[in-house]
Amino acid sequence: MLSYTLKRLLQAIPTLLIVITISFFLMRVAPGGPFDGERQLPPEIEANLMAAYHLDEPLPMQYLRYMGNLIQGDFGPSFKYKDFSVTELIAQGFPVSLEIGGLAILLALLLGLPLGIAAALKRNSTVDYLVMGTALTGIAVPNFVIAPIFALVFGVLLGWLPAGGWNGGALPNLILPVVALSIQQIAYIARMMRASMIEVLGSHFIRTARAKGLNEGEVIWRHAIRPALLPVVSYLGPAIAGIITGSVVIEQIFGIPGIGRYFVQGALNRDYTLVMGTVVFYGILIVVMNLIVDLLYSALDPQIRYDD
Amino acid sequence: MTQSLLEIDKLSVTFQLPTGPVAAVKNVSFSIAEGETLALVGESGSGKSVTSTATMRLLPELAETAGAIRFNGENLLEVTPKRMRRVRGNDISMIFQEPMTSLNPLHRIGRQIGEVLEKHKQLKGQRNRDRVLALLEQVGIPEPERRIDSYPYELSGGQRQRVMIAMALACEPKLLIADEPTTALDVTVQAQILDLLKSLQAQYGMAILFITHDLSIVRHFADTVCVMRYGEVVETGRTGEVFDAPKHDYTRMLLDAIPRGRKEPAPADSPVLLSGRDVKVRFALKKRLLGKSEYFEAVRGIDLSIRRGETLGIVGESGSGKSTLGRALLRLLKSTGDIRFEQTDLQALDKSGMRPLRSRLQVVFQDPFGSLSPRMTVGEVISEGLKVHHPEMTRRQRDAEVVKALEEVALDPAMRNRYPHEFSGGQRQRIAIARALILKPELLLLDEPTSALDRSVQVRVIDLLRDLQKKYGLTYLFISHDLSVVRALSDHVLVMKEGQVIEQGPSEALFTQPREPYTQALLKAAFIEEGAAA
Amino acid sequence: MTSDSKPYSGEQSNAAPLPAGGPNPPRSPDPEPDALPEAAPAGESLARDAWRRLSQNRAAMASLALLIAIIVMCIVGPCLPWGLAEVDWNAFGTGPTLENAHFLGTDANGRDLLTRVLYGGRVSLSVALVASFVSLVIGVLYGAISGYLGGRVDNLMMRFVDIMYSLPFMFLVILLMVVFGRNIFLIYAAIGAVEWLDMARIVRGQTLALKRREYIEAAHALGVRDSKIVTRHLIPNAIGPVIVYVTLTVPKVILLESFLSFLGLGVQEPLTSWGVLISEGVSMMEGSPWMLLVPSAFLAVTLFCLNFLGDGLRDALDPKTR
């Protein structure tokens, strides 16, 4: 188990290097500098700025400097939010994004898994058709459509919940964004759990369990659920990536001060260091999440621990 | 006769499918006395497994049952689900055909066995574990103390079947239903499992309902036989009586479906057609990007030669390297060593050099479902070789050849515009033979050509192969794990194990006086000594 | 369940009904228990079989019809009385009305919404087609090469795909858009470059599985050339899962494009796309909800249909259900 963990950790390093390298060089080949646009700066001031940000150095030097700083957790200064470093912006935004994203994935699992199981157990019943029909809608209607409609209906028309804003993370402000963010994943997880549950229920070892004289509850609870969970667990990696991506629009729509919003603002303002910092941060986050998911999988499936 | 333990009385099972009802079991009756073994015999689709599954009431919901299944006088079809669960695993246990998938892959085997004891005997903790250890010991699992905490994937197929048996025996049931328990296992393992079942039966005094398609097992194992076809019982009786004096035509046909007769030997002066010296094949297990790759030696230096008109049988259990050797000899796999076809050194030829020879060296594979491209019509499949080797032929000429080839294998030529999925297993195998024959080959590699088929179909395909050999003076390289088939077809036999030849010799001598213990074990496991008498 | 307890999984279902007065062969072909009725002159190919099953799937067929309708509407969109950027000075932000042929209303600048949605649909659908095609080409080539060569090359190529999988792709695409400006061709390429990974894996898996198939070996034994094996055996047999996957890639691509456009990082004026229109709709939703609902409905219906169609195709082509 330990060696497996170490091995997976080592495999994560090249991924991170690729993310950082791609982002770095993409940013540096970008046409137009970070100080274009506002107004024409006098050449000497621009040169000073360039020197201050080490933009006058040769590219490999800049790359090494950036890497060195990264290792110390320093993403460099933001070009647009002049008083903040990128690290500070991420540190501000991350707890907010984490709360929304974490709750969304939790909600997706808490609703998606039981719905999928129920649909599988009551296959071809009204429950099944209802769950699967809703799930297909959840997949077909993107979150950036659902979110504004929620805001319009529950926030503006009915006035039950705030249509936007963060308010320090008060519960009413959380509900709409979390639900909007999780709907698609609820749908995917329910569909996947249903399919995998149906497959497991048809497998030979379930027949064995029934032949032992176990009752349906014991058969399902002890023998069916864990094997059926395996494909869903391996989907958690992409699911988390989906939630992170989704959080970008959700934060934008509901005006939530998370990293996603900084990222979009940075992208629209060409705040290179901010965008790059966020991409690298997201990269690390996704790699770490994938690692956790893999370890979770290996904890559920004994065979993985020894193979590979 | 003693009082009957299980009585199946006019049982009918109908599957209510969307396409309409399908009767799988029709009006089946038989009974088993305490301590007795009844074999339910039939080919695929005969309804034998449906009958046994119905006894446990484990059929899917779309199955409708009628009639009665009385166990100790109690009609199991009418008891409450709760009562039925008390019967399952406690009074009646079941083991299945698929040892690899019948155990929960995520639970340790000790827990899976213990679960039955906990459920029916309320045995918990250390006492439960002690009983599980005793059971593992009893079914012959080595080092039970260590194995009790193993996961199924750490055990071999035979060991998993032993675990299944331990699980079934845990509550000392009165009846054990064994649904083809040895079909998926190698013959030697099969014999061990059957011996185990026999000795455990004596020990516990339980009755066994034994479902199988293999008559050679039945003869040695069962007191009573019940033969099924198309969901109906065609004949029931004491084993000896049924075997000695079958009443029904179908039973007679099944009994005759054991390949008989011997091959007429090829003329003694016929020249050597194919020979191999020190043939070796190895597969990469793990290809590392850096460092050493790991290899598995599937064939470890084999010498052989086949004369024109001869059949060389290659026998071995799964993983013995017999199929790999066959493919290597035809240059379908890379190998080292010397391979000669007549005087030609095959190893020296490249792909295009090999091509002209391909029409003379043909092959028929085991899997009748996988060996025909599903997107080509039968005519296209059969004529593909003609396009390669006789590009001068017109479409009309090719079609005429296809018609001839289909007639040769006793298939209706009008079927040539159909697709493979519209044919049965035996028909597909005939198509595969036609594909090889159309090129008028000299040597045919037959890689388990009949093992995926039911016995009765098998015999007809073997007859066909025999006729074709006689008619065209073909040379066969016949690979099989089925000793009775090999015996009926081969001049010479080569016994393989772990990539090496254990023993070889003229067929009759090898079957009547095997020298090596491994060959003896193989023959014994296949009950071949009786075959000699038949 | 053993095989003989499933009477419905046999070949009976494929047997064609007996044609009246069909040829009756003099010799009995093969007296096997599961022998077929007498030969019909022509068999049913897998493709036709799949189409028959698909056409029995009402949801899939309805989706197909609806999709064709949407595509046709997008193509004939320019025939509508209003142009893409044409302003109706009499109608700023009016709801759906028959007056002046603003069937789905106008936006705040007096531009006809239906016209804009159909023009936007052209962009969204063209992105979907081109990017799916890009991903198809890259994925099929990469997967087929990796699977066919096998061994060390395969190992290396798949390790690369694994690494690519764990990249935060969405963000790299956004980065690309930020750096190189919002250009529709870049969107085609970027999205295509993201979506090929799954395709590569599927095609590689297919190739590996097919390589081991006995009919491929039999073809080798017949002396069939490699190129013929690829064209006659590998490609026709691998194509089913690829088609299914393409139908499932298209909605993903549409979603990605609208996601980018929604954030203001996708296509730009004067072009528009469903994502852009939805984004405009969000800012106006309190006063003019139709501006949000109309493009959202078009997007959702298209995605819905594509998903249904993909599911239907998978059921029709899946060998497991055969």
Cα distance between residue B504 and residue B267, in whole Å: 20
Q: A108 pLDDT exceeds 90? A: yes
pLDDT for the residue C97: 66
A304/C contact by beta carbon, under 8 A: no
| Window A:132-161, CB contacts with C under 8 Å | 136-137, 139-142, 144-145, 148-149, 151-152, 156
Give the chains touching C; criterion: ≥3 Cβ pairs < 8 Å.
A, B
Cα distance between residue A57 and residue A39, in whole Å: 24
**Residues in CB range of C90: below 8 A, 6 or more apart:** C100, C110
Q: Please tell me which residue of chain A has the smallest CA distance to B94.
A: A211
Cα distance between residue A262 and residue A268, in whole Å: 10
Binning chain C into helix, strand and coil, the percentages to the nearest 5 are 70, 0, 30
Contact (Cβ atoms closer than 8 angstroms) between residue A263 and residue A128: no
Residue B353 has which token pair?
């050099």
User: Residue B492 to residues B128, B315, B326, B470, C83: CA-CA distances in angstroms?
Assistant: 54, 11, 15, 17, 86
Helix, strand, or coil here: C318?
coil
Among B82, B105, B116, the residue with its CB nearest the CB of A212 is B116
Instruction: Flag the least confident range among A11-25, B426-440, B520-534, C240-254.
Output: B520-534
- Provide the whole-model pTM: 0.82
Q: Do A140 and C176 touch (CB under 8 A)?
A: no
Select from A145, A254, A275, A289 the residue whose CB has the most chain C CBs within 10 Å, as the one to mutate to test that interface. Answer: A145
CA distance, residue B374 to nearest chain A CA (Å): 26
Cα distance between residue C135 and residue B483, in whole Å: 52
- Binning pLDDT at 50, 70 and 90, where does residue A302 land? confident
pLDDT for the residue A35: 59
- Binning pLDDT at 50, 70 and 90, where does residue B401 land? very high
Label the pairing between strands B4-17 and B20-33: antiparallel
Residue that has been written with the tokens 């516990």 in this structure: B204
Q: Is the peptide bond between B246 and the residue preceding it cis, with omega within 30 degrees of 0?
A: no
Label the pairing between strands B207-212 and B37-41: parallel
Query: What is the average per-residue pLDDT within B154-178?
Result: 91
Q: Please tell me which residue of chain A has the smallest CA distance to B168.
A: A212
- Binning pLDDT at 50, 70 and 90, where does residue B178 land? very high
pLDDT for the residue A57: 76
Q: B405 pLDDT exceeds 90? A: yes
Instruction: Flag the least confident range among A259-268, B146-155, B483-492.
Output: A259-268
Query: What is the average per-residue pLDDT within A100-107?
Result: 94
Q: B512 pLDDT exceeds 50? A: yes
pLDDT tens-digit series, residues A237-250 = 888 888 988 888 89
Q: Which residues of C touch A (CB under 8 A)?
A: 1, 163, 166-168, 170-172, 174-181, 251, 255, 258-259, 262-265, 275, 278-279, 281-282, 285-286, 289, 292, 296, 299-301, 303-304, 307-308
Q: What residues of C are in contact with residue B421 (Cβ under 8 Å)?
A: 11, 14, 46, 322
DSSP string computed for C89-133: TT-SS--S-SGGG-TT-B-TTSBBHHHHHHHHHHHHHHHHHHHHH
- Binning pLDDT at 50, 70 and 90, where does residue A305 land? low
Share of chain A above pLDDT 90, in %: 27
- Say if residue B534 is exposed, middle or buried (CB neighbours under 10 Å; 0-12, 13-18, 19+): exposed
pLDDT for the residue C36: 37
- Binning pLDDT at 50, 70 and 90, where does residue A36 land? low
pLDDT for the residue C4: 37
pLDDT for the residue C20: 33
Residue that has been written with the tokens 């094949």 in this structure: B281
Among C2, C39, C156, the residue with its CB nearest the CB of B289 is C156
pLDDT for the residue B83: 93
Q: What residues of C are in contact with residue A270 (Cβ under 8 Å)?
A: 178
CA distance, residue C307 to nearest chain A CA (Å): 8
Q: Do B102 and A208 touch (CB under 8 A)?
A: yes
Q: Give the closest residue to B434 by CA, choosing from B457, B410, B453, B417.
A: B410
Q: Do B102 and A223 touch (CB under 8 A)?
A: no
pLDDT for the residue C28: 34
Q: Do B56 and A211 touch (CB under 8 A)?
A: yes
pLDDT for the residue B534: 36
Q: Do C175 and A19 touch (CB under 8 A)?
A: no
pLDDT tens-digit series, residues B440-484 = 999 999 998 888 788 888 888 898 999 999 999 999 999 998 888
| Window A:198-227, CB contacts with B under 8 Å | 203-205, 207-215, 218, 222-223, 226-227
Name the residue with higher pLDDT: B530 or C277. C277
Residue B398: what are its φ and ψ, rounded to 5°? -60, -45
CA distance, residue B294 to nearest chain C CA (Å): 12
Q: Do A211 and B93 touch (CB under 8 A)?
A: yes
Share of chain B above pLDDT 90, in %: 54
**H or E segment to which residue A231 belongs:** helix A225-254
Q: What is the rounded radius of gyration, in angstroms, for the C-alpha atoms of chain B?
A: 26
pLDDT for the residue C167: 72
Query: What is the average per-residue pLDDT within A225-231?
Result: 92
Please report the number of interchain residue pairs, chain A to chain C, with beta-carbon separation below 8 angstroms.
124
Q: B71 pLDDT exceeds 60? A: yes
pLDDT for the residue A186: 94
Q: What residues of A are in contact with residue B119 (Cβ under 8 Å)?
A: 212-214, 218
User: Residue A46 to residues A36, A40, A81: CA-CA distances in angstroms?
Assistant: 10, 9, 18
pLDDT tens-digit series, residues C218-266 = 998 998 988 888 888 887 888 888 888 888 888 888 888 888 888 887 7
Q: B106 pLDDT exceeds 60? A: yes
CA distance, residue C29 to nearest chain A CA (Å): 37
pLDDT for the residue C42: 58
- Binning pLDDT at 50, 70 and 90, where does residue B291 land? low
**Residues in CB range of B322: below 8 A, 6 or more apart:** B314, B315, B316, B479, B481, B496
- What DSSP state is assigned to residue B186? -
Q: Do C34 and B46 touch (CB under 8 A)?
A: no
pLDDT tens-digit series, residues C5-62 = 333 333 333 333 333 333 333 333 333 433 333 334 456 677 777 788 888 888 888 9
Q: Do C167 and A19 touch (CB under 8 A)?
A: yes
pLDDT for the residue C40: 40
Q: B90 pLDDT exceeds 80? A: yes
Q: C64 pLDDT exceeds 50? A: yes
Q: Give the closest residue to C220 by CA, choosing from B428, B434, B332, B443.
A: B332
pLDDT tens-digit series, residues B30-50 = 999 999 999 999 888 888 989
pLDDT tens-digit series, residues C138-148 = 888 888 888 87
Q: Give the closest residue to B496 by CA, choosing from B518, B475, B463.
A: B518
Query: What is the average per-residue pLDDT within A188-208?
Result: 92
Q: What residues of A are in contact with residue C251 (Cβ under 8 Å)?
A: 140
**H or E segment to which residue B420 belongs:** none
Q: Do A213 and B115 touch (CB under 8 A)?
A: no
Q: What residues of C are in contact with residue A27 (Cβ under 8 Å)?
A: 175, 179
Name the residue with higher pLDDT: A189 or C239. A189
Cα distance between residue A248 and residue B506, in whole Å: 77
Q: Do A211 and B89 touch (CB under 8 A)?
A: yes
pLDDT for the residue B211: 93
- Say if residue C47 is exposed, middle or buried (CB neighbours under 10 Å; 0-12, 13-18, 19+): middle
Residue A234 has which token pair?
């391996």
pLDDT for the residue A118: 94
Q: What residues of B are in contact with residue A222 (Cβ under 8 Å)?
A: 115
Among A145, A244, A245, the residue with its CB nearest the CB of C299 is A145
Q: Do B410 and C7 touch (CB under 8 A)?
A: no
Name the residue with higher pLDDT: C249 or C82. C249
Label the pairing between strands B336-341 and B311-315: unpaired
Select from C18, C27, C32 the residue whose CB has the most chain B CBs within 10 Å, as the one to mutate to test that interface. Answer: C32
Q: A179 pLDDT exceeds 90? A: yes
Q: At what angle do helices C184-211 and C235-262 cross, to 10 degrees?
A: 150
Please report the number of interchain residue pairs, chain A to chain B, with beta-carbon separation below 8 angstroms.
68
pLDDT for the residue B306: 93
**Residues in CB range of B142: below 8 A, 6 or more apart:** none
DSSP string computed for C59-78: HHHHHHHHHHHHHHHHHHGG
CA distance, residue C233 to nearest chain A CA (Å): 30
Give the chains touching A; criterion: ≥3 Cβ pairs < 8 Å.
B, C
Q: ipTM of the predicted structure?
A: 0.80
pLDDT for the residue C253: 86
Half-sphere exposure of B431 (CA within 13 A, CB side): 35
**Mean pLDDT over all residues of chain A?**
84
Among A203, A207, A212, the residue with its CB nearest the CB of B119 is A212
Among C167, C174, C300, the residue with its CB nearest the CB of A283 is C167
Q: Please tell me which residue of chain C has the smallest CA distance to A251.
A: C263
Q: Which amino acid is at C77?
A: G
Cα distance between residue C318 and residue B526, in whole Å: 39
pLDDT for the residue C44: 64
Angle at C245 between CA C239 and CA C246, to 5 degrees: 90
pLDDT tens-digit series, residues C140-184 = 888 888 887 777 788 888 888 877 777 777 777 777 777 777 677
Q: What residues of A are in contact with residue C294 (Cβ under 8 Å)?
A: none
